[in-house]
Amino acid sequence: MLSAAMLGAGLTAAQAETLRWARVGDALTLDPHSANEGPTSTLLHHIYETLVRRDTDGSLKPRLATEWFIHPDDPTVWVFRLREGVTFHDGAAFTAEDVVASITRVTSETSDFKGLHTAVAGAEAIDDYTVHIKMSGPSPLYVQNLTNFFVMDKGWIEANGVETPQDFKAGEEKFTVRNTNGTGPYTLVSRDPEVRTVLAANPGHWDAAPAVTEIVYTPIKEAATRVAALLSGEVDFVQDVPVQDIERLSNTAGISVTTGAENRTIFFAYDMTSDSLKSVPGDNPFKNPQVREAMALALDRDAIRQVVMRGQSVPGGQNVPPFVNGHDPALDAYSAPDYDAAKALMTEAGYADGFSVDLHCPNDRYINDEAICQAYVGMLGRIGIKANLVSQSRTIHFPAIQNGEVDFYLLGWGVPTFDSQYVFDFLVHSPADGRGGWNGSRYNNPEIDAKIESLATETDLAKRDATIAEIWQTLQQDRVFLMVHNQLLAYAAKDNVEIAVHPENQPSMTTVTFK
């Protein structure tokens, strides 16, 4: 069924191509600066736009900015030339003032993306189509941080009183949660959270008209139901193909499966610093490095790959994907589990009888996330750690991590900047000045904090890479992360639908073609 907006744009039923898109979870919010989370950003990329975009080969391409460079007379200023003739969905003209207002908004306290902009000192509209972004020091890699920086309309922000983003982790409700006004290739037609979102092609978009003129986006949490919907013809494209169904779907007439590596690691983390855990009152075994080492020795990554992931993962020991700057094959190497050595370490640490702790795990975000946690529960049991699995929706899981409400948890992390600083800023740095927003381990190392801060304005790239390597060495020694694997992706679609696997797992329906 076509939306009124599509019919109003002059599209007939014969011309229109609806794509029914299903994945495991919905966008958490429609506020473009509220939740730094994959499915949320993926949907928002269809409604809002960024200054630059990440192509499937990892390169940067123009979007709302047509040109960008460091100011020739001031190495602390980035210059952006903006695309002319762009309008927001409500008809307002896109200008430099909108970029300035969006910079102000994304760097505010409730923004979940502020960690990408910690070196920003301010922004200025030089004319309608030129913006200067002033940095606190030379920041040669800052443009890499802008692939998920969505630009909003200044007038719309002010008219609706949404100068600051929704505080998602606090459960705040705001106009931007359910209403949108972007410059993107699709407009919002209807939104029923966790049920269905309908988008229509934007007839006034600056780029070529997409083949997909209507998107019906449906979150389907249950793997079997998601696959059944594709097989029955209820949906056309499934973004999260269960690993156990890849082979069957590949051999099913009328269905095509495309696979590829994702820029995302899956790992366990724990509260390393509190004196008392919520699930272990009066004690915190995770403060003891011998306990952390024992937990590392109990993790059987190859078993998880073979049994849980059906071969669809790349195990590793360093919590950063192989194609990200800072990856070190030596640090990524991992050993086979050694339960005898792990139990000996537990005894030396004073936990010969083990301990009990809650393990919090999402059940609707990553591929086989709950099953990964279940497997590790069994492995930990072999060294006396009784992990009580708390499985819950990511809508509960993620705020609990950010609010410091969990002791031990599973998380996945992509790196849209393709640089380790992104990992450090969000997951490692102490919570301060926009950094550490996802540091659920409470890791606190002032020396490491200082090194992380230096990365934003270090112009000697060889020196910067050396600092990144030093940080990773320390993080590995301290066992800040229990890295499990790099995630692999599988998309499945009707065989008349062509869509490439995106390394950020952010497929754009504007790239879909129909055979």
pLDDT at 427 over 80: yes
pLDDT at 4 over 50: no
User: What pLDDT does residue 56 have?
Assistant: 78
Interhelix angle 289-298/369-381, rounded to 10 degrees, is: 110
Task: List, as one string, the DSSP characters of 442-510.
Answer: ----HHHHHHHHHHTT---HHHHHHHHHHHHHHHHHHT--EEEEEEEEEEEEETTEE-PPPTTS---GG
- Compute how many other C-beta atoms are within 10 angstroms of the C-beta atom of residue 265: 24
Report the distance separating Cα 240 and Cα 18, nearest Å.
20
Report the distance separating Cα 31 and Cα 8, nearest Å.
26
pLDDT mean over 398-420: 97
260-314 tens-digit pLDDT: 999 999 999 999 999 999 999 999 999 999 999 999 999 999 999 999 999 999 9
Strand (E) positions, 273-332? Answer: 313-315
Which range is least confidently modeled, 2-6, 69-73, 153-157, 197-201? 2-6
| Average pLDDT, rounded, for the chain | 95
Contacts of 106 (CB under 8 A, 6+ apart): 33, 113, 114, 116, 117, 149, 165
Task: Map out the domains of the chain with their CATH numbers.
Answer: 34-165 (3.90.76.10), 262-488 (3.10.105.10)
User: What pLDDT does residue 342 have?
Assistant: 98
User: Can you give the pTM of this predicted structure?
Assistant: 0.91
362-400 tens-digit pLDDT: 999 999 999 999 999 999 999 999 999 999 999 999 999
Percent of the chain whose predicted confidence (pLDDT) is above 70: 97
pLDDT mean over 173-193: 98
pLDDT at 3 over 70: no
User: What pLDDT does residue 55 have?
Assistant: 85
Which is nearest to 438 in space by CA: 416, 409, 418, 470?
409
- Compute how many other C-beta atoms are within 10 angstroms of the C-beta atom of residue 72: 8
178 to each of 44, 112, 181, 471, how far by Cα in Å? 12, 18, 11, 40
Residue 461 exposed, middle or buried by CB count within 10 Å (0-12, 13-18, 19+): exposed
Per-residue tokens: 201: 């092609």
User: What pLDDT does residue 58 have?
Assistant: 79
pLDDT mean over 240-267: 95
Q: Is 352 left (phi over 0), alpha (psi -120 to 50) or beta?
A: alpha
Q: H or E segment at 339?
A: helix 339-348
Per-residue tokens: 263: 């820029």
Report the distance separating Cα 441 and Cα 429, nearest Å.
10
- Compute how many other C-beta atoms are within 10 angstroms of the C-beta atom of residue 309: 25
Per-residue tokens: 98: 């909108």
pLDDT at 257 over 60: yes
CB 331 within 8 A of CB 475: no
Please, where are the H alpha helices in 178-288?
223-232, 246-250
Report the distance separating Cα 150 and Cα 88, nearest Å.
12
User: What pLDDT does residue 16 have?
Assistant: 57
pLDDT at 414 over 50: yes
pLDDT at 10 over 50: no
Which is nearest to 89 in space by CA: 151, 166, 35?
151
CB 42 within 8 A of CB 505: yes
Report the distance separating Cα 293 and Cα 272, nearest Å.
13
400 to each of 172, 389, 484, how far by Cα in Å? 15, 15, 21
pLDDT mean over 106-129: 97
31-81 tens-digit pLDDT: 999 999 999 999 999 999 999 999 877 789 999 999 999 999 999 999 999
Cα within 13 Å of Cα(27), Cβ side: 25
Per-residue tokens: 4: 């009124």
- Compute how many other C-beta atoms are within 10 angstroms of the C-beta atom of residue 208: 8
pLDDT mean over 139-158: 97
User: What pLDDT does residue 7 have?
Assistant: 34
Which is nearest to 62 in space by CA: 50, 48, 78, 71?
50
Strands 408-414 and 255-270: antiparallel
CB 52 within 8 A of CB 103: no
